[in-house]
Amino acid sequence: MRHPSALRSVLWRLPWSLQPCLFRTPLRIITVVLLLNAWTLPALANPIIKLSSPQSFIAHPSGEGYYIANANGEPGTPDNNGFISKLDQEGNLLDRHFIQGGRGDTILHSPHGMAIAGEILYVADIDVVRGFHAQSGKPTVTVSLHPFHVEALTDLIADGIGQLYVLDTAGNAVYQIDPQQDYEVSLYLQDETLASPRGLAVHPRSGRLWIASLDNGNVMEIAEDRTMTEIISNSFFTGKFRNLSGIDFDRFGSLYLSDLTAGKIWRVQPDHSMQVIAEFLISPSSVKIDRRNHMILVPYLYADGAEINGLERPTNTGKQRKRKRTLSDYGLGWLEEDEKP
């Protein structure tokens, strides 16, 4: 359901310069900035508030809803008070503490990356990967990476063909977990040039892993033989990024990157053109795409909030961009109707 009056108040009543007094409500700033940077909005942007150090935000592949991982304190602290929030299909909060560390037999210290495979929600938690039933939240499995001496598991993905991959940021490594072989863990790749890998994604067409670096801002593609190709360089002369914290693809092949310290979200289209689609954000700790609904999901680590926004579809990009854009390109066609005589 669209809310013309509410959205109109955000677009035109708030000043473009974002007056200093607005910084008392950071989620409002986030919403305004995203709107002004023309993310597709089939409905009003949906902020989720009263989180606690949110690290990641994912969609259920079947479209059943969304999950947000909250470190609930200093990330990386083994205090067993982390929690997972659950949202419905519309992005409305169903249960802020759907999975709660320290409740019953649930252990969850500092959840970071998440992935869903089958009925299991997998969560990277410092040095283990924990599995929970996606519907009930009950613990199902604990996969220890203690033998590998990991210290900081971050992003976690399912490749769609039965394998899990998780990043060890401090160890510059990627580990593979095979649920079909009693959750066997193996070192998939380790290389210093990964430079504190923080974001992990699977290309929707090639199936290859892509990794974003926190330290040097490079983006690497990993081939089937595990050789690395630098896709995006961030050298002294060509640098665009500060600290990349997240990476994902939409179903059209466009790449999205979150820059934690610069407060930006970048889009890289298949033709390699790059653009900032949101900026002045408060600590975007990761970025994930709901490919089914073409939505972007961003948690804000130090703002204790998160947001869902629609994305512009690629029907008016590239050569077609010569056509004058209209409000309908951004899901705001109803505003054009108001302007008709």
Q: What is the pLDDT along the chain (341 residues), one digit of tens a residue?
A: 333 223 222 222 222 223 233 333 344 334 434 433 434 434 446 789 999 999 999 999 999 999 999 999 899 999 999 999 999 999 999 999 999 999 999 999 999 999 999 999 999 999 999 999 999 999 999 999 999 999 899 999 999 999 999 999 999 999 999 999 999 999 999 999 999 999 999 999 999 999 999 998 899 999 999 999 999 987 656 668 889 999 999 999 999 999 999 999 999 998 889 999 999 999 999 999 999 999 999 999 999 999 999 888 775 444 444 444 444 443 334 334 444 44
Which has the closest alpha carbon to 113: 151, 75, 58?
58
Ramachandran area for residue 195 (φ above 0: left; ψ -120 to 50: alpha; else beta): left
What is the residue extent of each domain of the chain?
A: 4-339
Could you give the CA distance from residue 41 to residue 1 in angstroms, rounded to a whole number?
A: 12
Q: Could you tell me where the DSSP H helices lie in the chain?
A: 4-8, 26-36, 333-339
285 near 297, Cβ under 8 Å? Answer: no
Give SS3 for 226: coil
Give SS3 for 299: strand
| Partners of 182 in beta bridges | none
Which has the closest alpha carbon to 285: 314, 307, 311, 267?
307
Our measurement of the distance from residue 164's CA atom to the centroid of its chain's CA atoms, rounded to an integer in Å, reads 17
Task: For 4-339, give the CATH class.
Answer: mainly beta
| Residue 200, token pair as written in the block | 């992990």
Could you give the CA distance from residue 282 to residue 279 in angstroms, rounded to a whole number?
A: 9
